[in-house]
Amino acid sequence: MDTKLPCPVCGKVFHPKSLGKHKTRKHGALVSPPAPSTKQSVTTLFIAIPAQGDIKSDDANTIRALFHANNPNDDPNIQMLCNAARLNELQGSLGRSLVANCRGVWYIHQLLATVTLAINKFVPDCQLLQHKWESAISLIRSGTLLDSLKEQNGQVVIFISSTLADWPDMSQSEFLDTIYRIVVGHTHIRVYPSISEQRFEMLKIGDIRALDEIATAFDCPVEFSMRPTTCGGYGECKLSNLRPRDYHVLKRSESCASAHVYKKKSEDRDKLRCALPGTPLNDKTTRPMSSSPFWFHQEFVPELDAFEFRVFIKNNGAAGEVIHTIWTSSVPLAEAVKGKRSKIKTRKVSEDDFHWAVPDGASRKPDIQRAKLKELKEFALYVYQALRRREDSNPHFETLEVGVRLDIGVLSRTANDARGATDVYIEPGKYFFVNEITRWPEADWFSESTLETPYLRLCAEFAEPLARYLG
């Protein structure tokens, strides 16, 4: 009796010699059964360092009203994220610093919501584990973290998130040194953001130099080439032209959220090693500090005392997409307090926030403001794309493959100093510049004060490119 085989497309049965002809004639090409998947499973270990003891009090990082016991929200993202039972479980395991219920309204940390949504919606095969910061420190210091990770099959991603300048109980430097010794040699374990990127970002000066290099590139549009002058704090001072009554801004590495940023008179140089003209150079002044943190200084930009734009960009698989833009009132630098998080005013950006761009007596004011808002977004995307094209993009800007928050200020130039970083004359006026590259897992999102309820839009926007990374 002849053996007959079914067609994998239509199911009809044929003699083996006829099956190939049938598939070619009827279905256009030889069709083979799909190969078994070789994709490895992924486990994500989520560790967040809370900024407040109760997430309800952290208005910069909380997502509110995800689920109300008496009035469930019909938003599909909320339904996919979790339910009341799951939230109760998370509150019990992670504590109120990341998940909290207050009179039936739930508050959840923005990154926990994003990671959970990314996995539930796009990577359902990925297992999500969570650790309180205190528990993670205990596992790391006891040397048992690796043992717990060895139990997981496939790839493991240790996702770490903090918006704090000073990490409690274990500094960021100590964490990175310790976690490196734990995971080195174990190719199935990776840290996100990577150890290389976190160390690079901690120094701050590397990000600034990258932005300076983008502005000085031969193909940079002149209107995007304006940068405040930065001196690395050693060697010949690049801000030696400051007059005694001028201000400069002292900044420290290993810092964030306006901590360790001080507006000072130019003669206040106690923390700097750079040499002014006439000062002899020696080993102390010409070499960067071998240990960190260290101090450097920048040209003072008065507009930053008044406002700053925060532009959120996600990787949409192409050139990037601006998904949210907000206006913030900057904390006066003279009032910045070491180690403290300062509340600032925030709102979704509007055309009215560009009134400063309208010349005195100009007509068509709305058109000018609208054009300036468009220019802000174009500038942000230009810098985003340029950062991703850099040769060091992978080790130093890997998180940009998911997204970023660019903190953008306005720099005024008069007829006397209207030269861009390329030293090409441009018209006097006000120009955008990136003040800081804030990695998306370490950024305050201000969702509650700048988004509509249920405040989940940024979580949903970042979840998809994050899922591509995790998957």
* CA-closest candidate to residue 441, choices 394, 384, 471, 400: 400
DSSP codes joined into one string, 90-124: HHHHH-TTTEEEETTEEEEEHHHHHHHHHHHHH-T
> Could you read off the pLDDT of 93-116 as tens digits, one per residue?
888 999 998 887 888 899 999 998
Task: Write the DSSP symbol of residue 275.
Answer: B
Evaluate whether 110 touches 122 at the Cβ level (below 8 Å).
no
CA distance 344 to 463: 27
Q: Taking the CA atoms of 137, 139, 142 and 145 in sequence, report the sign of the dihedral they define.
A: negative
CA angle 189, 95, 445 (to 5 degrees): 70
Three-state DSSP class for residue 432: strand
State how beta strands 5-6 and 105-109 pair: unpaired
Neighbours of 282 (CB within 10 A): 10
Three-state DSSP class for residue 362: coil
**CB within 8 A of 107, min separation 6: which ones?**
55, 56, 62, 63, 64, 66, 99, 100, 101
Q: Which two tokens stand for residue 180?
A: 């490196």
State how beta strands 42-49 and 155-162 pair: parallel
Rg (CA), the chain: 26
Q: Out of 262-266, 267-271, 300-304, 421-425, which region has the weakest mean confidence (pLDDT)?
A: 421-425
Q: What average pLDDT does the chain have? A: 83
> Could you read off the pLDDT of 148-199 as tens digits, one per residue?
887 777 889 999 988 887 899 999 999 999 999 988 888 889 999 999 999 9
Q: φ and ψ at 47, to 5 degrees?
A: -130, 115
Neighbours of 377 (CB within 10 A): 16
Q: For residue 308, how far is the Cα from the chain centroid? A: 17
Q: Which two tokens stand for residue 229?
A: 């002058």
pLDDT of residue 426: 63
Please identify which residue in the block is written with the tokens 């590397």. 206
**CB within 8 A of 427, min separation 6: which ones?**
418
> Could you read off the pLDDT of 53-75 as tens digits, one per residue?
888 888 888 887 555 544 556 66
> Could you read off the pLDDT of 234-290 as tens digits, one per residue?
889 999 989 888 999 999 888 776 678 889 999 898 888 898 888 877 766 666 666
Three-state DSSP class for residue 22: helix
Catalogue all structural domains in the chain, each as residue range(s) with its CATH number: 42-193+454-462 (no CATH), 219-225+303-443 (3.30.470), 229-300 (no CATH)
pLDDT of residue 199: 93
Evaluate whether 131 touches 46 at the Cβ level (below 8 Å).
yes
Neighbours of 63 (CB within 10 A): 26
